């Protein structure tokens, strides 16, 4: 009896120990928790940063309209920008920004797509060995260097070529073209490589030539990816400040042609922010320009998502 009692106790103790082991977290589990905790913390910090930036820019940017009682429509369509005297018409900068962005994208896209086709379809080997490093190098060059080259080379070149002072949308387009080219090219390469191999095989088996295959099958099925690439390039061009500021001339006037000095949202921001006082109209007006930039980048991102979604549906069919 005593013996069994003892045995029972022993069993009890053992089972207790087991249950303790089973019910408490092991080291691996704790590590798991910790890892999860760290990831959540990082995500939390990032969300907090993004949210507070959005809130900050929005509240500051809206102050022009709520505190200084500027009419939103006047702000967007007015053409007289002299904040010191109370005139804030942002249309010249908005037009300037869109002009350089679209011009750069239009010029860069054919070159980018051509390069990408060469790298993926025509000569993948040379593409990987020669062009890939070149494109990666172009991405890595700081924008101030692009701007400096623009100021020292492109501006005088444009002056000799088309006259005027050389500063203007055309010089900015040229500089931005080189800056967005690698972005568009490398993303186009990705989307061309993602085209299923059997599309190409089927096309060739049906007797299509290489050019027919590339132009009617590969490019067609990679279109959503290429559009995404172009939009990413445009987003970069739209947000570029320094290089553009150095070559566009920063005149807050409606651009009449491609060779007269103009300005963009970013160039006006960087050149004006140091000379304005917090809480005054000139400062608030600059925040409103920043708000436009923010909204535009949100718009570009949304556009990319829409295109990606449509592209997916197409592939499933």
Positions touching another protein (CB under 8 A) are 82-85, 151, 155-156, 159, 165-167, 190, 245-246, 249-253, 261, 263, 270-283
Q: Least separation, in Å, of the C-beta of 17 and another protein?
A: 44
Q: Least separation, in Å, of the C-beta of 102 and another protein?
A: 23
134's tokens: 């070149």
Residue closer to another protein, measured from CB, 31 or 84 = 84
Backbone angles phi, psi at 81, to 5 degrees: -110, 95
Backbone angles phi, psi at 87, to 5 degrees: -95, 115
Residue closer to another protein, measured from CB, 187 or 217 = 187
Residue closer to another protein, measured from CB, 208 or 242 = 242
Q: Least separation, in Å, of the C-beta of 123 and another protein?
A: 22
Q: Least separation, in Å, of the C-beta of 190 and another protein?
A: 6
Task: Say if CB 217 and CB 223 are below 8 A apart.
Answer: no
Residue closer to another protein, measured from CB, 218 or 262 = 262
> DSSP label at 257?
S
Residue closer to another protein, measured from CB, 151 or 204 = 151
Backbone angles phi, psi at 84, to 5 degrees: -65, -30
Strands (E), the chain: 81-82, 87-88
Between the alpha carbon of residue 227 and those of residues 75, 105, 114, 190, 216, the distances in Å are 31, 11, 14, 12, 16
Between the alpha carbon of residue 198 and those of residues 191, 206, 211, 215, the distances in Å are 15, 12, 17, 16
Q: Least separation, in Å, of the C-beta of 252 and another protein?
A: 6
């Amino acid at each position: 009896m005593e013996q069994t009692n003892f045995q029972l106790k022993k069993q009890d103790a053992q089972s207790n120990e087991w249950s303790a082991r089973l019910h408490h977290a092991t080291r691996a589990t704790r590590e798991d928790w910790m890892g999860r905790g760290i990831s959540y913390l990082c995500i939390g910090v990032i969300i907090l940063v993004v949210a507070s930036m959005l809130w900050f820019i929005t509240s500051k940017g809206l102050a022009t309209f709520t505190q200084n009682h500027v009419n939103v429509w006047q702000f967007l369509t007015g053409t007289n920008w002299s904040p010191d005297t109370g005139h804030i018409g942002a249309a010249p900068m908005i037009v300037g920004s869109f002009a350089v962005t679209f011009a750069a994208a239009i010029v860069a896209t054919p070159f980018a797509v051509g390069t990408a086709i060469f790298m993926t379809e025509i000569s993948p080997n040379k593409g990987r060995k020669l062009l890939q490093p070149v494109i990666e190098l172009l991405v890595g060059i700081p924008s101030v260097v692009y701007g400096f080259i623009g100021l020292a080379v492109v501006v005088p070149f444009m002056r000799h070529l088309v006259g005027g002072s050389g500063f203007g949308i055309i010089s900015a387009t040229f500089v931005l073209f080189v800056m967005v080219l690698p972005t568009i090219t490398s993303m186009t390469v990705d989307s061309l490589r993602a085209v299923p191999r059997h599309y190409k095989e089927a096309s060739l088996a049906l007797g299509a030539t290489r050019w027919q295959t590339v132009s009617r099958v590969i490019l067609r099925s990679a279109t959503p990816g290429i559009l995404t690439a172009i939009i990413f390039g445009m987003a970069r061009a739209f947000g570029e400040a320094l290089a553009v500021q150095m070559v566009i001339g920063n005149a807050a006037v409606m651009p009449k042609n491609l060779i007269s000095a103009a300005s963009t949202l970013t160039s006006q921001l960087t050149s004006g922010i140091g000379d304005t006082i917090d809480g005054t109209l000139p400062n608030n007006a600059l925040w409103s320009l920043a708000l436009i930039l923010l909204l535009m980048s949100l718009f570009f991102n949304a556009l990319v998502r829409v295109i990606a979604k449509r592209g997916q549906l197409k592939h499933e069919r």
